[in-house]
A and B are shown apart, each in its own frame.
Chain A
């Protein structure tokens, strides 16, 4: 029997035990996780439905169009000295962008806090981070959440290739890494206009999404893939009609001719050219190794054991990138179950698991965006296309631990006075709760201090 089976399943593979979870899981940790793997079915977002990328893209366009008028109105109010009106108009303008964004963050957080399938949520966030986009660019502020719902969630229990294609054809990725602007120099549009290639998406697709930086590609391969990808764009212009905000292949900007990538020649085939390249990249041994390493680093250890990486890679290749098989392989490994506190929690982990532990339901009242921003992990806003980092050294530093303490302290200050932090700790940490921590919490001056000590305890800061 696996020791810490429930604790590892709920806290490392999930988003933390809710009251009662550990008892329910018992010694069936691996089975409890396996049941959450539903091959071929989407890891759907639980809760109220949210607008599609297309609708959000239209809102973005409308926002951009009204921007001039809005700014003029603010200027006018300012010149009149009408402070109230200036403030109101400013606020309205911010809310146009903030409204849809916050709705996404709230829905995503609420789902992770209340779900019975926290492994599916964690996997969703893992892939969303692997194919990271950032809401720092304006159109992305509108559509980052929809991107995760449309390009990630349906494929979490599907094939890697299908997810890769959904990502590469999604407006969010095409806009984030500039591919909508890239033009084949010898295409019809390229020969007329003095514009051309932008290799941003092609490089990151190789380096960050598939084979990895040491996966065996050269600068020529990056350029060739950039050429093959020309034309992968988004319907956005005046003539887009009902297709606005959807994927568009534009033959007139596609670079004609064959491309050679990592030694293989791909003949001209319009959109199918890059599609075939992605098909091959998704089956490449370097991709299998790169994805396996990231999965093991996220779910097992900061220093992924070589044997486990190799095991997952073999399964990845043998199953043609069928992700449920890869997850099952990881769950079947004893090294995944050897250390209950192997990983330090990221800020997102910490916030979600705290709310799960205390059993909060009213997530729509919580200022999750502000909390995560304060703790250094603003939602949908990773600092680079590589996404958020995934080791202890990236998340724990003097100021980071202080921010966590300030946050825990402020949160505990709002907790109702009758809470029993020892009971919360026991139900969240099970057998991983140390005697020292239990004693410290039970001897706290009051419930609020006890809750702070629980959240900040060495055990709860890890998963």
Chain B
């Protein structure tokens, strides 16, 4: 296999002068802290992942999908909240005080569309398609010191990481590399094409890093979350590696037969849990400087629907896990599950703005000022104050 690193060392000046597309390697960032944002696409059922066992209306309202078996369906986190039994790694992390859960949380926008709410979750505004770029990209620009970059484990960069600041996307491949000569000629052909030229030069740069940290291109696609987690760990621990990473996990839209302690949702939760375990393992000492935030576009209906699943809802659960997390807590202003307390008589109300969670993490973990958070990263978010003490 041709070494892309060799290619770059040999011809870096040519490319830099012909493309003027910015740095050719991830620079040294002014912090050794790392942030991973996991977007759970489809709408995770927060009432199944973190069931409010102590709510007097929980058991009666969940019907066919109530997690009623203490032995097989869930454990307890405190006197009120349980945790789905398949989230075993997360349970351990909770006990080690490295996991905090925020419940009854949602974006500031209210409807039940996957697409609108995923967009609001990622653009960081108050309405769908308000901004073209994403809050995680804007956060890169608001951090102290130069050299911060972001990485998405996917073919293209998702909205949350899109924007003017330095980002790339990476996924392993099974095809051979084109030779250096072809690459050079193509770079030259893209001289006046910022879209394609920018993407290709970024790809070369990221591949250079992949080669030095991930031992080449992998050879297999990201078959599961464990592989993705290992890949992220390798990038985040590399010298000059990205400060933030984004990962998308699909498949939470459990309209039918979502199951209880076993079944469709349980399998998904198990995968997620395994992914977190793998990430911690492979981050090694870097775990102590890492925060992983896992959030979804909406929670799901309180009642099971007619097909033993749940429909699109409002309030859900978010997870903040990592070495700097002040964990072992479930934070909520619990709205209650009685019919009159539900959003539109069907959903868990959202009493906490998801942006407060993100802002708290960005401020206390990555050192972004309140002012920058309010004006640049999350404009129009003055009412959603950063949550205190999520991380130390």
Which A residues fall within an 8 A CB radius of B?
177-178, 181-183, 185, 190, 194-200, 203, 207, 213, 219, 222, 344, 374, 376, 383-384, 386, 392-403, 405-407, 409-410, 436-437, 440, 444-445, 449, 452-453, 456-458, 461
Given contacts A195-B306, A456-B189, contact A400 B199 (CB under 8 A): yes
Whole-angstrom distance between the Cβ of A225 and the nearest chain B Cβ: 13
**Inter-chain contact B307/A402, CB cutoff 8 Å:** no
Chain A CB count within 10 A is highest, among B181, B250, B305, for B305
**Inter-chain contact A399/B178, CB cutoff 8 Å:** no
B113 on the interface (CB 8 Å rule)?
yes
Tell me the interface secondary structure of chain A in the complex.
Answer: helix
**Inter-chain contact B181/A445, CB cutoff 8 Å:** yes
B171 on the interface (CB 8 Å rule)?
yes
Of A383, A395, A437, the contact of B250 (CB 8 Å cutoff): A383
Stretch from B98-106, B151-159, B269-277 contacting the other chain: B151-159
Complex CA gap A185/B63 in Å reads 14
Stretch from B86-94, B162-170, B281-289, B367-375 contacting the other chain: B162-170
**Inter-chain contact B178/A405, CB cutoff 8 Å:** yes
B364 on the interface (CB 8 Å rule)?
no
**Inter-chain contact A396/B195, CB cutoff 8 Å:** yes
**Inter-chain contact B156/A399, CB cutoff 8 Å:** yes
**Inter-chain contact A398/B305, CB cutoff 8 Å:** no
Whole-angstrom distance between the Cβ of A369 and the nearest chain B Cβ: 14
Whole-angstrom distance between the Cβ of B254 and the nearest chain A Cβ: 10
B363 on the interface (CB 8 Å rule)?
no
Given contacts A344-B195, A452-B178, contact A399 B203 (CB under 8 A): yes
B111 on the interface (CB 8 Å rule)?
yes
Complex CA gap A285/B13 in Å reads 56
Chain A CB count within 10 A is highest, among B114, B168, B188, for B114
Complex CA gap A407/B176 in Å reads 9
Whole-angstrom distance between the Cβ of B379 and the nearest chain A Cβ: 21
**Inter-chain contact A178/B307, CB cutoff 8 Å:** yes
Bitwise, B223-265 to A at CB < 8 A (1) or not (0) is 0000000000000000000000000001000011000000000
B202 on the interface (CB 8 Å rule)?
yes
- Residue in B closest to A386 when the chains form the complex, CB atoms: B115
Of B115, B171, B176, B189, the contact of A399 (CB 8 Å cutoff): B171
- Residue in B closest to A370 when the chains form the complex, CB atoms: B174
Whole-angstrom distance between the Cβ of B301 and the nearest chain A Cβ: 9
B338 on the interface (CB 8 Å rule)?
no
**Inter-chain contact A198/B311, CB cutoff 8 Å:** yes
**Inter-chain contact B182/A402, CB cutoff 8 Å:** no
Of A196, A392, A400, the contact of B305 (CB 8 Å cutoff): A196
Complex CA gap A458/B207 in Å reads 22
Given contacts A400-B199, A458-B193, contact A182 B306 (CB under 8 A): yes
B190 on the interface (CB 8 Å rule)?
yes
Q: Which residues of B contact A436 (CB under 8 A)?
A: 189, 191-192
Complex CA gap A400/B189 in Å reads 18
Given contacts A219-B344, A394-B156, contact A453 B189 (CB under 8 A): yes
What are the 5 closest A-B residue pairs judged by CB atoms, nearest first?
A196-B306, A397-B156, A398-B203, A409-B178, A398-B202
**Inter-chain contact B199/A392, CB cutoff 8 Å:** no
**Inter-chain contact B189/A449, CB cutoff 8 Å:** no
User: Chain B interface: which size bin?
Assistant: 35 or more
Whole-angstrom distance between the Cβ of A427 and the nearest chain B Cβ: 19
Complex CA gap A272/B343 in Å reads 32
Q: Which residues of B contact A444 (CB under 8 A)?
A: 185
Whole-angstrom distance between the Cβ of B371 and the nearest chain A Cβ: 29
Complex CA gap A195/B168 in Å reads 47
Bitwise, B171-214 to A at CB < 8 A (1) or not (0) is 10111111001110110111111011001101100110000000
Complex CA gap A374/B171 in Å reads 11
**Please, could you name 22 A-B residue pairs with CB atoms under 8 Å apart, sorted by A?**
A177-B255, A178-B255, A194-B63, A196-B307, A198-B255, A203-B112, A213-B128, A384-B42, A392-B195, A396-B156, A396-B195, A398-B168, A398-B169, A398-B170, A398-B206, A399-B155, A406-B177, A406-B178, A409-B176, A410-B176, A449-B185, A458-B190
B residues 101-160 touching A (CB-CB < 8 Å): 111-116, 128, 152, 154-157
**Inter-chain contact A195/B156, CB cutoff 8 Å:** no
**Inter-chain contact B113/A207, CB cutoff 8 Å:** yes
**Inter-chain contact B203/A406, CB cutoff 8 Å:** no
Q: Which residues of A contact B34 (CB under 8 A)?
A: none
Q: Which residues of B contact A222 (CB under 8 A)?
A: 112
Complex CA gap A380/B256 in Å reads 22
Give 18 new A-B contacts, CB below 8 A, not counting A203-B311, A406-B178, A409-B178: A178-B255, A178-B309, A183-B306, A196-B307, A197-B305, A199-B305, A199-B311, A374-B174, A376-B155, A386-B114, A397-B155, A399-B203, A402-B207, A403-B171, A406-B177, A409-B176, A409-B177, A452-B182
**Inter-chain contact A406/B306, CB cutoff 8 Å:** no
Q: Which residues of B contact A399 (CB under 8 A)?
A: 154-156, 168-171, 203, 206
**Inter-chain contact A397/B157, CB cutoff 8 Å:** yes
**Inter-chain contact A401/B306, CB cutoff 8 Å:** no
B residues 295-336 touching A (CB-CB < 8 Å): 305-309, 311-312
- Residue in B closest to A219 when the chains form the complex, CB atoms: B344
B31 on the interface (CB 8 Å rule)?
no
Given contacts A203-B312, A449-B185, A457-B189, contact A185 B173 (CB under 8 A): no
Complex CA gap A449/B178 in Å reads 9
Complex CA gap A182/B308 in Å reads 10
